[in-house]
Every structure is written in C-alpha cells, then in structure tokens.
Structure 1
Amino acid sequence: RTRDLWRMKSGRIWSSMFAPIALSWSLTAQSCSKRVWQSRLSLSQPQAFITAPARFGMTGMKPPISLRRNRRLNHMQVRCLNRLLFEPEEVVPSSQSSCLLYLAKSDKRVTHIKKILKLENGQSLRIGVVDAGKEEDAVLEWQDDGSLKLQISQSAEQLCAPYTADKIPRIDLLIALPRPPNLGDFLGIAAQMGVANVIFCNANKVQQDYFGSHLLRPPMSKMRQALKEGLEQAGETYLPKVHVAKRLKYFLEEQLDQICPDTIRMVGHPQKSWLPPLPPMRDVQVPPNGRILVGVGPEAGWQDPYELELLGEHGFQGISLGPRTYRTEVALISLLALANERLEMADLQEKGRR
C-alpha cells in the first residue's frame, strides 16, 4: 500500500512538472501548422482558396483544387488543374459552329469535375484538345446517369485544328535519362515549361537498367498521361515529342540535326575554379524567332572531359548557374526558365528595333 501511494504521489509530481512543457509543445505545433497553411495559401493562385482543417482555426471556401497525398514525401500537396485535356477522337461534331464532348460516369475527369471543382449545370470549364485548340467556356450539362456532356461554341474542325509552326514551343531538351522513379516528374516538368522535344540520352554515369523503365515501354500510355498532367497544370495543349537515344555519340552525329535543326545549343555545367569562365544564359546571342536546345547531365554530371568535348564538337556551348552543384530537377527547372526568359528578351529586342 505504501508503494502504491508513493507511485500515485510521484505520478502527480511528474505530471505537474511536464504538463506545461507538453502544452507549449502542442501550441507550438499548432502555430507551425497554421503558418504552413497560410504560406501555401499565399503561394497559390489568386482564385484558389484552401480550406484548412478546423483545428487550425482557419475557414474558407471550398477550393477548385485537389489535395492529394504524396507517398514519397508523406505530406499533402496542392494539385491544380488549369485545363482539362481531351483527345481529338473524343470531339463529336454537332453543327457547323459547335461540337460536343461526352464523358462517362467512370471517367476520372468526371470525378474531378464533380468532387473537386464542384461544377453544376450551366457552369463553364476550360478544356483543350491535345496538339490542337483550346476552349475557355465549355458549358456543362449533367446527365441523369451521372455522365457529363460539354457544349463547345467552336466547330470540331476549329477545335481540332493542329498546331501551326509559329505556335510550337521553341525550346528542346537533351537530358541524361534520370532514375525511373523520377522519370514521370521530369516529363511533367518538361511539359509545364514549354518543351517541344524531349530527348532522353545515355551518358557514362547513367545506369543501363534505367532504359527498362515502364514509362519507356510500348504503348507508352503512362508516359503520355504524365505529359498531359503537366500540360493541364500549365493550361497548354502542345504535347512534347519524346525521343530515346541509347548511344549518345551516334545520336549526336546522325540524328540530332534532324530532330533539332538550327538551334542555339547550350549545356549546363558547374563553374569550377579550374575551368575557364562560363557565361550565363543571358549573355548568349539568340536570333529573333530562334530556338534553344538545353542539355542537362545526370546526377553525377557529364563525364569530363570526354562527354563535354563531344557535346562541344556538335555545337553545344557551356553555360553556368554558378559554382554550386544542383540536383538534376533543380538544374532542369532553372535552365528551362532561363531559356524561356532569353527567348522573350530576344523577341522584345527585335520589336524594339522595329
């Protein structure tokens, strides 16, 4: 009995000592979680509102965005679809000035429209056709069986008209094949950033079993889906063309000029102290309406000097993002963003001369 009384007394002592600490930890965790939600809200688009859990003390409208759990990162991330894409064969002509789109109840796009966007009859939706046109106001009409009909105020010929040469993106990408688990993310990034041709090539530091990825196997439907998700995020419709080069030297000598003719070719490489100074991309001369081919190496970098000299023999000039060594996805996004900016600067300079 004495031992039991001592345990009860000691338990109360420990509780009184650590209760304030536990309470402060709980309040700190809640405040941090609230700040995370506020930061995500500030980084999202102006039209997007995120409804946070009630325990964070935040309220808001139900958002036209989806929250999905990333299994690898184990946290919630925001995924916003800015345009739903359709294949050309899904477009049904209805008259000379309009056409229709039908979606079955089991279609994933119907689930997204119904549960995430929460659109009702008469409301409009932005849609697009792969490698063709766009429509900003496709009117919804829900059917009794749960399917969906979209009415479009364009003819099927206008909506499915293929891209003209002046509207095709002017950036091509030569990238050493990444690890298979990350390949889908790289495809989505390339589609979002406006790449016309994606060339996955071999390199000395690329493992050969990477070419056995399921995304690279026929019929490549999963690769196409990854590209379409990137386009839906960017609100565009041009689907990048994907090429696979298992032999780098043969590809550079025999096929590169056919796929990417008349391009300004650049390859990113860290600026090391023993290398001659490499210029930034803004200092590279780009003609008006020119095209840029960006080369990105594997995680361990291009083989120096063999692969760098091989690229240099085929017109690639080295550019630098600074002395730091970046992960491939960071270097990819940075180089593609700078390439888009450089093309815009070249176009503005040409307009200023006129």
Structure 2
Amino acid sequence: MNLILLFDEDFVAEQRVRLTGRRLQHVRAVHRAGVGDLLRVGRVGGRMGEGRVVELSDEQLLLEVRLDQEPPRPLLLCLVLALPRPKMLKRVLQAVTSLGVKQIYLVNSYRVEKSFWGSPLLQPEKLREHLVLGLEQARDTLMPQVHLRPRFKPFVEDELPQLIRDTLPLVAHPVAEQPCPPGVAGPVTLAIGPEGGFIPYEVELLQAGGFTPVSLGERILRVETAVPVLVSRLKPPGSAA
C-alpha cells in the first residue's frame, strides 16, 4: 500500500479522517507508524498529500490530512478486454489500474466461457476492491470505470464507433503482421481478446469498424501478461511508469 486511499465516509471533519479495518491494520503492521508520523494519503477522485497520525489504537486511526497534490495524469487509453477467467481478471484489473487506464470495457467473445459472466467478481463492490488495490499500488486517486458488455456484436456495431472516435483503434491479434506501435502520443482504444485470441469473425468485425490488427511478435503471451505489456508499450514517451 503505497498510498492510503480516503473515501468520503472516512472524513469526520474537513481535514480529519478516521480509519479502521484493513487500512488501520496495514498502518500498524507495515508502516509501524506512531503518533506524529506522516503517511501518504489521497482522497478518491481528488487530491493527494500527507496525513499526520494524531491517534492510533487497536480500534481506530485518526489522521489530520493536508491534500495539496494532484494525482498522476490518466492514461489516454480505453481498454476493450474479452472477459478473462475470474482469477486472471483480478490481476489484470490491478495491473491496468496501476498503469493509469481509466476506461475498461469487459466484453463477450466466442472463446469466453458463459460461466465467467456469473462470477461474483463482476459485482460492483468486488470490482472496486481490485481497482482500489491498483490505485494504492500506483499512488493514484482517480477510480477507473468498468463497463460490462455481454453481447459482442451489438457492442461493436452500436457503441464502439462512438468510443473510438478521435482515437487510434488497435486490436491485439497474435497473427497480425503489423507490430504494435510504441509510444503513441494520442488517445488509443485497445481491444484484447481472450486466451487464444478473438476468432477470425470477431477480428473482421473489429476491422470493419476501423480497428487495425497488431501483434507483439512471434511469442504468444497469456492475457494477464499481454495486457500490461501492450498498455506499457503504447504509453507515450515521458509518461509516468
């Protein structure tokens, strides 16, 4: 936890917060903070800064906070991702959140198992848990938005044209001849398929909508590896790690 995230309900006064549960235990066990120590904090959706410990017990942590720093700039990349298996989705959500992705569309695909859509992980509160872990890791406060789209063709034909407007639309495809471009300066919409990739029909549908197939070369990567590699490769020069 490189940043202690503060939520609206944590504030007991304008500059004072009360923390319990996981964050309290982390401060006690990992930071080993005491009264008077400073901790890095950030308000979800707002600024970051420092929190001074004014009270610490087994039951609660009280901080006096000063929020005077802006969070890192969001990455101008919209991720369209075929829904991975739940265990993999947890890791992917944390990774792309840490990298600064703020728009995530989880979509269906021929190779996505139907049972994945019934996973409890897709409940808003469960998704939020893993987004929070990504923000804490990267010292960021801007919560990504996750959109569920269980019907592939209607999404591609009816919604995606508006999403890709004024962006560079790319679809990761293992057999594509064109390599993924490095360091794209402008906004990008990146579509990534499931294990095994999008089927040819799905790639053709994306191409018809304006997407260009790209690859990372001869090696075939698992989704949980390919997603952060592709996102990192597309990040513009000079952007935060």
TM beyond 0.5: yes
Alignment CA distance shift 1:257-1:168 (3 Å): farther
Counterpart-to-counterpart distance in 2, 1:178 and 1:199: 12
- Indicate which of 247, 256, 260 corresponds to 2:160: 256
Describe the SS at the equivalent of 2:75: coil
Decide whether the 8 Å contact of 1:281 with 1:320 is kept in 2.
no
Counterpart-to-counterpart distance in 2, 1:198 and 1:241: 6
Question: Gaps (5+ residues) in structure 2?
Answer: none
Query: What TM-score, normalized to structure 1?
Result: 0.63
Counterpart-to-counterpart distance in 2, 1:336 and 1:279: 14
Greater fraction of residues in strand: 2
C-alpha deviation, 1:179, in angstroms = 0.7
Q: Which residue of 2 aligns with 1:323?
A: 218
1:86 paired to 2:2: no
1:126 paired to 2:40: yes
Aligned residues: 239
- Indicate which of 288, 296, 316 corresponds to 2:192: 296
C-alpha deviation, 1:259, in angstroms = 4.3
Q: Which residue of 1 aligns with 2:148?
A: 244
- What is the identity, as a one-letter code, of the residue corresponding to 1:120? G
Counterpart-to-counterpart distance in 2, 1:173 and 1:109: 29
C-alpha deviation, 1:145, in angstroms = 6.5
Query: What TM-score, normalized to structure 2?
Result: 0.90
Counterpart-to-counterpart distance in 2, 1:153 and 1:129: 10
Describe the SS at the equivalent of 2:197: coil
1:230 paired to 2:125: no
Counterpart-to-counterpart distance in 1, 2:87 and 2:56: 39
C-alpha deviation, 1:146, in angstroms = 4.0
C-alpha deviation, 1:213, in angstroms = 0.8
Alignment CA distance shift 1:144-1:86 (3 Å): closer
Pick 1 or 2: higher relative contact order, CA cutoff 8 A, min separation 6.
Answer: 2
Counterpart-to-counterpart distance in 1, 2:75 and 2:63: 28
Decide whether the 8 Å contact of 2:53 with 2:62 is kept in 1.
yes
Decide whether the 8 Å contact of 2:105 with 2:148 is kept in 1.
yes
- What is the identity, as a one-letter code, of the residue corresponding to 1:303? I
Describe the SS at the equivalent of 2:9: helix
C-alpha deviation, 1:169, in angstroms = 2.8
1:344 paired to 2:240: no
Decide whether the 8 Å contact of 1:203 with 1:302 is kept in 2.
yes
- What is the identity, as a one-letter code, of the residue corresponding to 1:101? V
Decide whether the 8 Å contact of 2:73 with 2:100 is kept in 1.
no
Match runs of 1:87-102 below 5 Å = 87-94=7-14, 99-102=15-18
Give me the CA root mean square deviation. 2.3
Alignment CA distance shift 1:167-1:324 (3 Å): closer
Alignment CA distance shift 1:119-1:260 (3 Å): farther
Alignment CA distance shift 1:278-1:259 (3 Å): closer
Q: Identity of aligned pairs, percent?
A: 32
Alignment CA distance shift 1:182-1:223 (3 Å): same
Alignment CA distance shift 1:110-1:144 (3 Å): closer
Greater fraction of residues in helix: 1
C-alpha deviation, 1:323, in angstroms = 1.1
Decide whether the 8 Å contact of 1:264 with 1:291 is kept in 2.
yes
Counterpart-to-counterpart distance in 2, 1:187 and 1:319: 22
Alignment CA distance shift 1:138-1:316 (3 Å): same
Q: Which residue of 2 aligns with 1:65?
A: none
**Which structure has the larger Rg?**
1
Counterpart-to-counterpart distance in 1, 2:229 and 2:88: 17
Describe the SS at the equivalent of 2:115: helix
1:333 paired to 2:236: no
* CA deviation vs aligned residue, 1:25-68 (integer Å, no higher than 9, x gap): xxxxxxxxxxxxxxxxxxxxxxxxxxxxxxxxxxxxxxxxxxxx
Counterpart-to-counterpart distance in 2, 1:209 and 1:337: 30
- What is the identity, as a one-letter code, of the residue corresponding to 1:267? V
Describe the SS at the equivalent of 2:93: helix
C-alpha deviation, 1:173, in angstroms = 0.5
Counterpart-to-counterpart distance in 1, 2:169 and 2:80: 10
Describe the SS at the equivalent of 2:110: coil
